[in-house]
Structure 1
Amino acid sequence: MVALLRGRLSALGIKVVAAEEYAAPNVITFELTRHLSSEVVGKRLEKEGYYLSYRSSYLLKRNWLQICLMGEYDQRVIDAFPPILASCLA
């Protein structure tokens, strides 16, 4: 699941921070380009129903967002995420 989502993010041109072999098993951290704000994108995603980690000073300083797949989740919601993220980045 996480590997598939990482691949979909990479296909969108999104830079995933940690290589898969070093990453936490259920966490994907990705970096936005300079012209995008992780705070703005995070708020856009919240309006779409996706609550990512981005509010800590550590993440904001680096312009990073984190997807944390903990507990139960709906596969359809995960599958729908990449195009929604792409629209929030536009």
Structure 2
Amino acid sequence: MNHDTAATAPATEDTAATGAPRLFALAPAGSELEAGDAVFWGIAFGDHAMAYRRDPDTGFREQGICESAEEARRLFSSGEPEPLRLIWF
């Protein structure tokens, strides 16, 4: 699977023209995004982003609606030992 690991990834002209949402993950800085490495999964729209996680050990669910995927990364990094990495799909 080819994904962009840049902190921010500009939308392509096709994405901007159609308004198609983009999928992203928030993962620990050193992970290769193997199964279960993502802390949050999200979807970014033109004017906001939604992020969701379910802790596999406790079942605790957490979600947020932010202005962007980058804002979600900053928000949800606050409880982590290191800042989370934003990965685009």
TM-score, normalised with respect to structure 2: 0.29
Q: Which has the higher contact order (CA 8 A, sep 6+)?
A: 2
Larger Rg: 2
| Structure (1/2) with the larger helix percentage | 1
TM-score, normalised with respect to structure 1: 0.29
